[in-house]
Amino acid sequence: MVGKLSTMRGHGYSVRPVSKRPPNWVVYQPDEVKALVINLAREGKRQSEIGNILRDEHGIPLVKPIVGYGVRKVLEEAGLAPNIPEDLYNLMVRATRIRRHLERNLKDYGNKRGLQLTESMIYRVTKYYKRIGRLPRDWNYRDEIVTI
């Protein structure tokens, strides 16, 4: 029984559809999906929130098979894409929160290590985004406090 349990670990995630075509039960046209994405972005929703809302409230599993490209590209076309990618921004916010905590709790060595790991991740993600051209080559992470 122990062998079965160990083989089952790590499989608790959903699998994306294999087909590149939209499911036949989706009733939205590409222009309607683009309009929904743009309206949600104008309401101040982030890319991940837009995807969740489209999935949960509108029954759109993925934007890419319907429109031909993802949420980020739709936002770029509309001029609503953020300057900093969302995952990098979230890491910067996390580092800011840890830094504020460490200002009040100087001997919290666990969180000092957490800050090191978070900033290391920021540098790796930044390097990746510079390489693919989503961030300018001269962009640098400054360990300042990000407005939350």
Instruction: Please work out, in degrees rounded to the nearest 5, the angle formed at the alpha carbon of residue 48 by the alpha carbons of 45 and 54.
Output: 80
The enclosing domain of 123 has a CATH number of: 1.10.287.10
Which contacts of 79-86 are long-range, i.e. CB under 8 A and separated by 24 or more positions? 80/38, 80/41, 80/42, 82/46, 84/135, 85/125, 85/129, 85/134, 85/135, 86/46, 86/47, 86/48
Instruction: Count CA within 13 A, CB hemisphere, residue 144.
Output: 5
Q: What is the pLDDT along the chain (148 residues), one digit of tens a residue?
A: 444 555 556 677 777 778 888 888 889 999 999 999 999 999 999 999 999 999 999 999 999 999 999 999 999 999 999 999 999 999 999 999 999 999 999 999 999 999 999 999 999 999 999 999 999 999 999 866 566 5
User: Do 23 and 74 have their domain in common?
Assistant: yes
User: Do 58 and 93 have their domain in common?
Assistant: no
Task: Please tell me the predicted confidence (pLDDT) of residue 147.
Answer: 63
Number of domains in the chain: 2
103 in any annotated domain: yes
User: Do 74 and 91 have their domain in common?
Assistant: no
Task: Please tell me the predicted confidence (pLDDT) of residue 96.
Answer: 94
User: Do 37 and 56 have their domain in common?
Assistant: yes
Task: Please tell me the predicted confidence (pLDDT) of residue 23.
Answer: 85
> Residue 14 belongs to what H/E stretch?
none
User: Do 26 and 51 have their domain in common?
Assistant: yes
12 in any annotated domain: no
Task: Please tell me the predicted confidence (pLDDT) of residue 16.
Answer: 77
> Residue 79 belongs to what H/E stretch?
none
8 in any annotated domain: no
Task: Please tell me the predicted confidence (pLDDT) of residue 143.
Answer: 67
> Residue 105 CB: number of other CB atoms within 10 A?
11
Task: Please tell me the predicted confidence (pLDDT) of residue 146.
Answer: 63
Q: Which residue matches tokens 């919290």? A: 108
pLDDT tens digits along 28-55: 999 999 999 999 999 999 999 999 999 9
Separation of alpha carbons 130 and 32, rounded Å: 33
Residue-number span of the structural domain to which 98 is assigned? 86-132
pTM here is 0.80
